[in-house]
Amino acid sequence: MKVHVISARGKLVGTFIPQQLQPSDPKTPICTPVAGRGQKLHQLEIENAESYYEERRLADLHKIVKKKLKLK
């Protein structure tokens, strides 16, 4: 599963798991994060990334992201 990551000056700002491409309701908006000034947008492939959100283990997900991107 792809995870979108925003970093700034070598530090993790946030993570985002994109929703499925074809939502069940056509009125559902599709969103994606945008990096601001001085920030970078990364895309990582992380296995079972949704489970970290569902199980509220965001700290574990952030550790994996920081290690892969070598962030502080």
Please tell me the predicted confidence (pLDDT) of residue 35: 95
**pLDDT per position as a tens digit, 16-56:** 988 766 667 778 777 889 999 999 999 999 998 889 888 99
Domains of the chain, by residue range, sit at 1-8+39-72
Residue 49 CB partners (closer than 8 Å, separation 6+)? 1, 2, 3, 17, 61
Please tell me the predicted confidence (pLDDT) of residue 8: 97
Q: pTM score > 0.85 for this model?
A: no
Please tell me the predicted confidence (pLDDT) of residue 22: 64
Please tell me the predicted confidence (pLDDT) of residue 27: 81
Work out the angle at residue 27's Cα, subtended by the Cα atoms of residues 26 and 31, and round it to the nearest 5 degrees.
95
Averaged pLDDT for residues 62-69: 95
